[in-house]
Structures are given as structure tokens and as C-alpha cells.
Homo-oligomer: A and B are copies of this chain.
Amino acid sequence: MNRFVSVNGNVYRWPERPVVVVCIDGGDPEYLRRFLADGALPNIQRFVQEGYSAVATGSMPSFTCPNNMSIITGVPTARHGISGNFYLDTQTWEPVVMTGPELLRGETILAGFAEAGARVVSITAKDKLRRQLGKGLDVGQGHVSFSSEFADRCTLAENGIEKVLEYVGMPKPDMYSMELSLFVLEAGIRLLQDRRPDLMYLSLTDFVQHKWAPEEAQARHFYQRLDDAFGRLAQEDIVLGLTADHGMSDKSDAAGEPNVIWLQDILDAEFGAGETTVICPITDAFVAHHGALGGFVRVWSRGNVSVAAIIERIAALEGVDLSLDKATACRLFDLPEDREADVAVIARKDVCIGSSARLHDLSGLKGHRLRTHGGLTETRVPFILNRPLNSEYRQQVAHSEIKSYRIFEFAINGTL
């Protein structure tokens, strides 16, 4: 009997063995380049040699939420609607948080499989993602959905699991620690061994990549620990897919100071205060390691200043790659029009864009160089499977560009 599950128009086979997808938040290909070259990642090395690997294209803007939602729904941002952490409600002129499940359009692959009778697990580092990833998932049916951030508060009713710290055997990790990610993986390994779910999504956090460049020892140490965990996951006879939500670029100058364009200040000086609103869609509650600065921001006009004037002013700024009207941005990057700004702004690889200098707290950098993401240059992400492609998908990759939102599809339908 062949069973199929259809989610958002994509058809998935019934997995023969558990499928585990890990999203290495901020997992820029540069980390792999360096650590594979020096032999530090024997398990990923084995997947690369025996399975399949490529550099895939992620969703724009290259932020965590849009890409996690693309991965978990299997469709581009225009379809699932989550194009950042915030958009501006032009009725109230207030920023609206987009990380709730109510704004996610369509169904998650996890919920689709759960409905069809599969057992699924979703574990994230930060709780902001947990609720969206868990959309439509009835944890009463044996599914699990929790974050390591709130690992100490899990209940059977809310998360399908309790006493997680004991279960995993690790203390509650700090929000700014590599353990926040490692906890996700250790919990995943344990659940895989105990419950052998059909589908598992493990989404990490990019604290390490924001803080440390590939040449720094802490980054290497983190990747070695990831590699060790990936090896133990792969031992459980699974299909393992590894990707990232976005890359990570150094955006500081030679002196170590962040290259920042304070766009709200510039637009206020040009057009007057209150005429335009800059939203930094990377903003969330935990921004110490990047100060809510990214490579992509959105600008709305209150109505008195023309979009063309805003675009022209921004395009003239040193450090801006693209300054696009709504229609062009949506067409080029497959974004939802109803949540897009009048102007979408993409910074150069070594530059980030903020709102007003007074609204960003950079004290959390504590002498570190600013590393962040959001632009075009951070859309390139690893796409690695521990098993080789089957003949159908070998053919696919001969004619189709690989989008990271297809990682579940490749893992489920595309491997031997």
C-alpha cells in the first residue's frame, strides 16, 4: 500500500524510516567550508561523501521566521505569509508581531502528517518559533512540541511532554548560550530513541554564529558538538536533512565598529519626522547579539512622501544594494504583497540597516564584531542529506534550482 500526504499542494510519500530535519540557525556555508577542510566534522563529512549536498537558496528576507516557516510548510514566503518578525499595520500604524500561528497561512508539514496518523516532534531553541511550528498540532495525540527556552515549563497538555530537563539530562540552558541549541538536539536524539516518531523538526538558534566567525575557536567547538549530535541522530536509521534558515556575514569595519545605516534618522532628516516608518523585521525580544540590526528593512510612507522619493533617497546611500518598490520586491523574492512595505531595502554584504540610533541597543555586542543577516548575501544555505538521492531526484537537481524550503520534500521523497 502506498500512502501519500498532501500539504499545501505538495505530495509526500509515507516515510519508510523517521525523517529528521535540522535547521542550523545562521549556519552559513563558510562554517562548513572551514571545518570540513580541517576534518573537524567527521559525521557531516560522511553525509557529504555518501549522501547528497548542495548550497541551496533560502527565502528572502534571510531571517529566522520566514525561513523556518518556508521549511515547515514547504512553500515560499508569498504562500505562507510570514515575511519577518514584524510588519506594519497601516490601519493602526502599529508594528504587528508575525510570530503567532494565526498569521501563518496554510498548514505545516508536521500537522499534515500528524492528521494522517504520523507521530511528529518539533523542538525549537526559542519559544517564539515553537507556537508557529506547532500550528494545528494536537499534542494530545502523542506529538511533541516544545522549546529549550521553556524546557522547564513543559506540560503534557501544552507540549505533549513534561519534566524535559530530567528527560534530557541537561540543565536549563541560558538564552545566550550554545547549549540552547545543543539541548534541542539532545532532546531530539532521546525522543528518537524512545518514541521513534515519523517526522521530527529540530530548529536551533544562531547565538554562536552571530557572535563568532568561522575562524574563532568557539564556533569550531560548537560545530564539533553539532557534528557529534548529528552522528548520533544518524545512527538511528533515519533520513537526516540539514539546512539553515540563513547565513551570517560580518558587518563591521576595520576598527571593529558596526557599519550601520540609521535609516529612520536619515529619512526623518530628509522628509520630516513621522512621514516614514522604518521597521526592522529582525527585531525580537532577544537581540543582545545583533542589536536588532539586519541586512533588510521595510519602509512605509505615511502618505505625504512619494514612494519614488523614498526609493531615490535610499538608493543614493552608500552601503545599500537594492531599494525596491513593493511590487518589485514581491516579484523578485516571492513575498506576500499584503505584508510588504512601500519600500524594501537590502544592504550590502558588509552593512546593516537600523531604524533610529537611539532605538537600538548595541551594548550586548560587548566588543564583538557585529555579525548578522537579512540580505541577499545570506540566502545561501547548506542543504545536506545523509542518504543519496534516488533517481527521480537526481533528475530533479539537473534542471531545478534547490530551494531550502524543499528540504522535507527531498528528505521524504527524494532519498534512497
Q: Which residues of A contact B (CB under 8 A)?
A: 29-30, 32-33, 36-37, 44-45, 48-49, 53-55, 308, 311-312, 315-316, 320-322, 325, 328, 331-332, 348, 376, 380, 382, 384, 391, 394-395, 397-402
Contacts and interface: CB of A to CB of B under 8 A. Distances in A.
Q: Shortest 4 CB-CB distances between A and B: which pairs?
A: A53-B398, A33-B399, A29-B399, A32-B399
Given A308-B316, A312-B312, A348-B331, A394 B48 contact: yes
6 contacts: A29-B398, A49-B391, A55-B397, A55-B399, A320-B328, A321-B331
Contact of A53 (B53, B55, B397): B397
A328 B321 contact: yes
Given A48-B395, A311-B312, A331-B348, 14 more contacts: A33-B400, A37-B395, A49-B391, A49-B394, A49-B395, A55-B398, A55-B399, A55-B402, A308-B315, A312-B312, A315-B325, A315-B328, A321-B328, A380-B401
A18 to B, nearest CB: 23
A115 B70 CA distance: 51
Nearest to A380: B401
Q: How many copies does the complex hold?
A: 2
A400 to B, nearest CB: 6
Contacts of A384: 398
Considering residues A311, A395, A397, which has the most beta carbons from chain B within 10 angstroms of its beta carbon? A395
A394 B385 CA distance: 13
A361 to B, nearest CB: 30
A32 B398 contact: yes
A144 B55 CA distance: 37
Given A312-B311, A394-B49, A395-B48, A55 B400 contact: yes
A366 B327 CA distance: 34
Contact of A399 (B36, B311, B348): B36
Contact of A398 (B54, B308, B348, B401): B54
Contacts of A348: 331
Contacts of A308: 312, 315-316
Contacts of A33: 399-400
B332 A321 contact: yes
Contacts of A382: 398-399
